[in-house]
Structure 1
Amino acid sequence: MKNDDVIENKNDYDCEEEEDDDDEIEKAHLLNVLKSFQGYGLMQLRQVAKWEESYTHIAPDILNVLGTSLDDHIQKLKFATGMNQQFLDFLIYPHLPKSTSEPERVIPTEWNGGKVRSTLLQFMREWSKEGESERNQSFPLIFKAIDEYLPLSLQDTVNDIHSSSSLTDSSKQDEGTYRPKILVPGAGLGRLCFDLAMRGYSVEGNEFSYFMLIGSNAVLNRMICAFSEDATDYEKKQDAGISEDQVGWKNWTIYPFIHNAANQVSWENMLRTVAIPDVHCTKFPDNWSLSMIAGEFLQVYLPQPESFDGIVTHFFIDTANNITEYIRCIYSTLKKGGYWINYGPLLYHYTDIDGELSVELPLGEVLKVAKYFGFEMLSHSTHSSTYCADHNSLMSTRYTSHFLVFRRPK
């Protein structure tokens, strides 16, 4: 099922006037995100120019030692910036207002510029072979728990969670079988959702960030595996009369590590490429069931009680302004007898942002809140993990992530 068919915005508003105002705000925000993607190249070239100027302060005898490597490095950085910009332009093309003129590109704000750089790193983590080692820190644990607690095609187990009257068409495979319905909030670029759906589950991803929604829309609808035969003739799959730069199933090579010159072991490390995607996202089985819902988690799912057999939160619960409300919503949204599977640290993303609420509880208190709402904890383990890390860098941040499985009683 293609994202173009299923991406929805489920934010509800109290009255028509408020809805019109919010729609205009939402459109302005989307346009701002699109302009941030378009302005990436200008932002990065400004950084490259800053590095280039700093090298002019190196003493002449040292410059002789370095030879032409500095000039070569600067030129390669400029080329890499251009390649990244082409990729970002590909991501946003379907979402731009129709125009025949070249877009006016402006340097994005520091915040939005950081989001664009993070999007490139997120593609590395989720959709490349290089990111497989990070995915393997958590994905196998999640898959094992899902297989154990929400197995496919075991009707006796499923009947403990819901009655047959709750079955939906998207959750049925054959007579007497059922695909548990799983929600993945904070879905990012959609890889965890994709992998769960490919395992046979009925999966709904939820994402609030337009940076992530635009990226996931492209990778799930308009890209082919970088390592398949189709990668050499994708133009045959394009719509007639539309140039390959604008639309078409395509694979890409990006440079996600060029944004930081600190802690680099070599110029080559900074400039190494990543091929995406590493799997065929546009080829899926007949029983495929994946949807992506745009919207803020609480607004979308508080009005949907007892809707999912399982909820998987992966590096997500610490993105809340108020983590206790996330737990309340997770409990409410699960069916009775359903399972909550969580993996990640407690970074608390709003902790340093002025004007933003940030309820920050230690893990022990989080577990007390989960117990208060009624969750039964079935398992708890800790695991060392990284997130969007450059594993060739001289510095990396490691988290002690907690893997937790809860059950909502019947």
Structure 2
Amino acid sequence: MAENQHFASIIRAYDEYRAWGLAKADRLERHYGKLSDADRAVMRVDNKVAGMRAAVEQNARVIAQLVAPHRASVPAGDDPRVQVAMPQPDGSTRFVPTSRTDYVPESDLEKVQSTLKQFVREWGAEGRAERESAHGPVLDALRKEFPQPEGVRVLLPGAGLGRLVWEVAMAGYVAQGCEFSYFMLIAADFLMNRLGAAQETVTLHPWALQTCNAVSAADQLRPAVAPEVPPSDLPEESNLSMCAGDFLEVYRDSEAAWEALVTLFFVDTAHDPSEYVRAAWRMIADGGVWINMGPLLWHFHDMPGEVSIELTWQELRSLIVACGFVFEREEWCRCSYTCNPQSLYQMQYNCIFFVARRPPRQPADGSEP
């Protein structure tokens, strides 16, 4: 029941994007109304607002395609069995009927917007630089560790829209992605299965509502096309799969099942990072490796009611070593994440990139951490 309610809340957030985006354009138009006619004319701000509305409408059309196959699983109307999750100030969650559209949390609408930007990061031409800085070292390390990819099993939790999983499978490895967020899973299905099978693309305007630090209206409203390469280019003999669910729950019985664990911008999604470390130790095969790239922006650090064990890199590193891993590479890499490459504001993370090996298991009478 809770799973259905949560899924309904995701669909509702996607459905509300259009009204939410148009409301932002309306707000800007009202404020521009305080300018003189002459000032508005010289800056052509009325044209920009019209362009924002057109961009939101186009994004909404893509979103409608994205959610269409999933809509049948969410009954319409005031059915009290189908509700959206509404966070409360004390950190608890209260469910209300889906038809009460004013209860869609702002945070969920921001996640829709982030998903649109993720289209570019993972599958758009403008995301190529981000992919090269983040995916590049990971793929190079994987090829160095396993130059013969046949039969090498690679697990990638936090798979997002599936691009890195796809690249690992393209390189000949047995690649499995795992993703918890329904926002991402629905979009990944759309990109990799539906668009991929038809070899089609969609046009989005991911920066249309980003009104700060824009160089020009043209930059703010520019389109992006995804996917830049057809996901169906994957060779027929490739082995790629995606799994939906929480990493710790889905793989709780997985032992020595993977030659490589690849965590990209993922470790800091943990409530308790020690659980991730011990899961990695358990599931990686003897002599296998853990390849990581990402910052430590602990996702739950500012969420009321959520457990959040926030560690420094040295603290996390000591935990990884105590568990038994042996660090073979440890470097710092500058990476951005869903950054607008033409914005006046450019933010990068100083990511920790490491390769840590899992030594052979102890004999049956030995003990593990």
Q: Same fold (TM over 0.5)?
A: yes
Say yes or no: does 1:408 pair with 2:358.
yes
In the TM superposition, residue 302 of structure 1 has moved relative to its aligned partner by: 2.0
In the TM superposition, residue 356 of structure 1 has moved relative to its aligned partner by: 0.7
In the TM superposition, residue 111 of structure 1 has moved relative to its aligned partner by: 0.9
Say yes or no: does 1:86 pair with 2:82.
no
Match of 1:185?
157
Q: Report Cα offsets for 1:73-127 as digits up to 9, x if no partner.
A: 1111111111100111111111111799999794632011011000000011000
One-letter amino acid of the counterpart of residue 75, structure 1: A
- Corresponding residue to 2:231 among 260, 281, 291: 281
Q: 2 CA distance for matches of 1:212 and 1:386? A: 19
Match of 1:41?
18
Structure 1, 185-194 or 256-265: larger mean CA deviation: 256-265
In the TM superposition, residue 63 of structure 1 has moved relative to its aligned partner by: 2.9
2:289–2:358 contact (8 Å) kept in structure 1: yes
Q: 1 CA distance for matches of 2:311 and 2:192? A: 36
SS across alignment from 2:232: coil
Q: 2 CA distance for matches of 1:98 and 1:382? A: 45
Question: Which ranges of structure 1 fall in alignment gaps of 5 or more residues?
Answer: 1-23, 154-177, 225-236, 238-247
In the TM superposition, residue 394 of structure 1 has moved relative to its aligned partner by: 1.0
Match of 2:39?
62
Match of 1:145?
141
Match of 1:377?
327
Match of 1:357?
307
Say yes or no: does 1:77 pair with 2:52.
yes
1:180–1:201 contact (8 Å) kept in structure 2: yes
Higher strand share: 2
2:199–2:230 contact (8 Å) kept in structure 1: no
Q: 2 CA distance for matches of 1:336 and 1:252? A: 43
2:259–2:288 contact (8 Å) kept in structure 1: yes
Q: Report Cα offsets for 1:374-406 as digits up to 9, x if no partner.
A: 000000111111000011111121110111000
In structure 2, relative to structure 1, the CA distance for the partners of 1:251 and 1:369 (3 Å cut) is same
In the TM superposition, residue 267 of structure 1 has moved relative to its aligned partner by: 0.5
Say yes or no: does 1:255 pair with 2:205.
yes
Q: 2 CA distance for matches of 1:79 and 1:62? A: 23
SS across alignment from 1:379: strand
SS across alignment from 1:409: coil
- Corresponding residue to 1:223 among 174, 189, 195: 195
In the TM superposition, residue 54 of structure 1 has moved relative to its aligned partner by: 0.5
Q: 2 CA distance for matches of 1:100 and 1:353? A: 30
One-letter amino acid of the counterpart of residue 341, structure 1: I
Identity of aligned residues (%): 33
Q: 2 CA distance for matches of 1:98 and 1:330? A: 35
Q: 1 CA distance for matches of 2:232 and 2:260? A: 25
Q: 1 CA distance for matches of 2:74 and 2:302? A: 39
Q: 1 CA distance for matches of 2:200 and 2:100? A: 24
Say yes or no: does 1:96 pair with 2:71.
yes
Q: 2 CA distance for matches of 1:76 and 1:346? A: 37
Q: 1 CA distance for matches of 2:18 and 2:235? A: 38
One-letter amino acid of the counterpart of residue 183, structure 1: L
Q: Alignment RMSD, CA only?
A: 1.9
One-letter amino acid of the counterpart of residue 60, structure 2: Q
Q: 2 CA distance for matches of 1:34 and 1:260? A: 23
One-letter amino acid of the counterpart of residue 173, structure 2: Y
Matched positions, count? 339
Match of 1:204?
176
Q: 2 CA distance for matches of 1:50 and 1:121? A: 22
Match of 1:392?
342
User: Which aligned pairs between 1:312-327 and structure 2 lie closer than 5 A?
Assistant: 312-327=262-277
- Corresponding residue to 1:264 among 214, 221, 224: 214
Q: 2 CA distance for matches of 1:29 and 1:58? A: 44
Q: Report Cα offsets for 1:152-202 as digits up to 9, x if no partner.
A: 25xxxxxxxxxxxxxxxxxxxxxxxx4200000000000000010011110
One-letter amino acid of the counterpart of residue 147, structure 2: P
1:39–1:105 contact (8 Å) kept in structure 2: no
Question: Which ranges of structure 2 fall in alignment gaps of 5 or more residues?
Answer: 78-97, 361-369
SS across alignment from 1:97: helix
Match of 1:17?
none
Q: Report Cα offsets for 1:205-244 as digits up to 9, x if no partner.
A: 00000000001111111114xxxxxxxxxxxx8xxxxxxx
Q: 1 CA distance for matches of 2:40 and 2:251? A: 60
Q: 2 CA distance for matches of 1:266 and 1:105? A: 37
SS across alignment from 2:156: strand
In structure 2, relative to structure 1, the CA distance for the partners of 1:30 and 1:252 (3 Å cut) is same
Q: Report Cα offsets for 1:262-310 as digits up to 9, x if no partner.
A: 1111111110110000111123212111111111111111221111110
Match of 1:338?
288
In the TM superposition, residue 60 of structure 1 has moved relative to its aligned partner by: 3.9
In the TM superposition, residue 58 of structure 1 has moved relative to its aligned partner by: 1.2
In structure 2, relative to structure 1, the CA distance for the partners of 1:217 and 1:105 (3 Å cut) is farther
